């Protein structure tokens, strides 16, 4: 329980997440599990360095310096760089929200994202994590994931919308079809009004998934799948040649 200064400072930073981008001193202290005075002092130091900033409202937010630092992280930077132009092509061809994601443990981690003008209700953002079983990219990644991951995911198929697949047998069947068909689809399983298609990406082995989100899939699924596969192949080729 006795926490080191460093870990306490990090806990302060860890108090921020996608739902809590700005916090007051007392919220920060509470979320970090620190006495007010201690949090106050730590925040002061973090702020001085630029890790935190303070809004006019008095709330604290992540500072620009951490933004800078974060961009230096090699989080799939090779993949992102290789994929970038193809994501734009894909957006150009479909005008849909485009996602590039990898599997991080038992979750989908969105590493790049490209939103169009008219956006269907999409919950993902770059850096956000979502369950593997309820998203298009997630199903693709799950279909090619090691056995233990799949087993783990199957134990808790949490329901998100009325259409979320929570029955292990149904999901297993879908994953089988993903492997034979080469693409995965979802229909309002993550958020109502949003359907998705996704395909695997990789030179040898699946390293990522590429997906798009559209309001409706019935109309031109074939065209979308084709566009996705062209982009995925392009990314795969770029990745392979980069080595």
Partner DNA sequence: TACTTGGCTTCCGTTCAGTGGAAGGGGTGG
Partner DNA sequence: CCACCCCTTCCACTGAACGGAAGCCAAGTA
Contact residues: DNA, CB under 7 A: 2-8, 24-26, 34-38, 40-42, 58
Give how far the C-alpha of residue 17 lies from the chain's centroid of Cα atoms, to the nearest Å.
13
Partner from a second copy, DNA, none contacting 146, C-beta within 5 to 8 A by type: none
Q: Which is nearer to DNA, 41 or 177 (CB)?
A: 41
**Binding status of residue 7 toward a second copy by CB under 8 A:** yes
* Structure tokens, 150: 């799949």
* 54: CB partners within 8 A, 6+ apart: 47, 60, 61
Partner from a second copy, DNA, none contacting 13, C-beta within 5 to 8 A by type: a second copy
Q: What track of x and - describes contact with a second copy for positions 11 through 40 (by CB under 8 A)? A: --xx-xxx--xx------------------
Beta bridge partners of 232: none
Partner from a second copy, DNA, none contacting 230, C-beta within 5 to 8 A by type: none
Pairing assessment for the beta strands 97-104 and 184-187 based on DSSP bridges: unpaired
SS3 label, residue 7: helix
User: How many CA atoms, within 13 angstroms, populate the side-chain half-sphere of residue 208?
Assistant: 28
Neighbours of 118 (CB within 10 A): 9
Q: How far is the CB of 3 from a second copy (least distance, A)?
A: 10
Residues near a second copy, by CB under 8 A? 4-7, 9-10, 13-14, 16-18, 21-22, 42, 45-46, 48-49, 51, 61-75, 84-85, 88, 91-92, 104, 114-117, 125-127
């Amino acid at each position: 329980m006795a926490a080191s200064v460093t870990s306490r400072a990090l806990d302060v930073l860890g108090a921020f997440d996608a739902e809590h981008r700005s916090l007051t001193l007392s919220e920060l202290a509470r979320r970090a599990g620190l006495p007010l005075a201690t949090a106050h002092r730590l925040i002061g130091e973090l702020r001085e360095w630029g890790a935190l900033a303070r809004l006019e409202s008095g709330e604290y937010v992540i500072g620009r310096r951490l933004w800078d630092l974060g961009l230096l992280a090699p989080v799939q930077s090779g993949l992102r760089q290789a994929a970038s132009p193809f994501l734009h092509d894909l957006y150009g061809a479909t005008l849909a929200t485009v996602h590039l994601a990898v599997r991080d443990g038992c979750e989908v981690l969105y590493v790049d994202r490209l939103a169009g003008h008219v956006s269907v209700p999409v919950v993902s953002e770059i850096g956000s994590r979502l369950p593997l079983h309820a998203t298009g990219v997630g199903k693709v990644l799950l279909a090619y994931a090691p056995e233990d991951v799949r087993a783990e995911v199957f134990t808790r198929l949490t329901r998100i919308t009325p259409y979320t697949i929570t029955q292990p047998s149904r999901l297993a069947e879908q994953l089988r079809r993903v492997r034979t068909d080469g693409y995965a689809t979802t229909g309002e399983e993550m958020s109502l009004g949003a359907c998705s298609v996704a395909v695997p990406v990789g030179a040898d082995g699946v390293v990522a998934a590429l997906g798009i989100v559209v309001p409706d899939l019935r109309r031109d699924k074939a065209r979308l799948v084709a566009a996705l596969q062209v982009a995925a192949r392009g990314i795969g080729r770029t990745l392979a040649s980069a080595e």
